[in-house]
Amino acid sequence: MHNSKQIDEIWEPKISDWEEIGIESYKFIFDQASIRLSEVLSQSNAMTERGFKMLYANITFLAALIGISVRHLPNMWILTIVGSVYVANFITIYLLLHVKSEVFNGSPPEEIFIDSLDRNDYTKEDRLSLLYYNEICRYQKGIEINSKVNLSRQKRYLASLILSICLFIVTIGIAINSL
């Protein structure tokens, strides 16, 4: 999980005066940001599910290869290369599943209670606007961080998918060759 200091380095809105934006506009922007962050988080969850399916498939392929190798030992050179590719693929899958650095939907109270929230020179509407403004900024930053993490995970997934397909084909080839 990223802390606020890391989040602050990513995005700042381009408005001249947050106080001039009406509450209804803030509500609309907040709702849209919340929807988008939820979508990005759901993409992350889908990536995790696909990663586990890939892990289970590779465990099955490896078990088949081990079963074949016990009955009919293939060329050691081929077995060493295939085994090394399996190890590399399991590492890729681990990295796909392990890298879950996310910014979650919603804010902890410590981030909501900002210093200027209790200023006497702000009206209640200004305070509410300030809360919306800060949360919208936080959501946008969360969207950016999670999107970058998702892109990195998608690349790992693609690499693992390619390796898995190759390993499946090689495992089938070794199985056919052992008949």
Domain-located, residue 149: yes
In a domain, 161, yes or no: yes
Residue 11 lies in a domain: no
- What is the arithmetic mean of pLDDT over 89-114? 78
The percentage of residues in the chain with a pLDDT greater than 70, rounded to a whole number, is 88
Over the stretch 118-139, which tens digit does the pLDDT of each residue have? 777 888 888 888 888 888 888 8
Host domain of residue 167: 22-177
What is the pLDDT at residue 99? Answer: 67
74 contacts 174 by C-beta, under 8 angstroms: yes
116 pLDDT tier (thresholds 50, 70, 90): low
How many folded domains does the chain comprise?
1
Whole-prediction pTM value? 0.75
3-7, 35-39, 90-94: range with lowest mean pLDDT: 3-7
Reference 37, options 104, 100, 101; nearest CA is 104
> Cα–Cα distances in Å, from 79 out to 54, 71, 89, 166?
21, 14, 15, 14
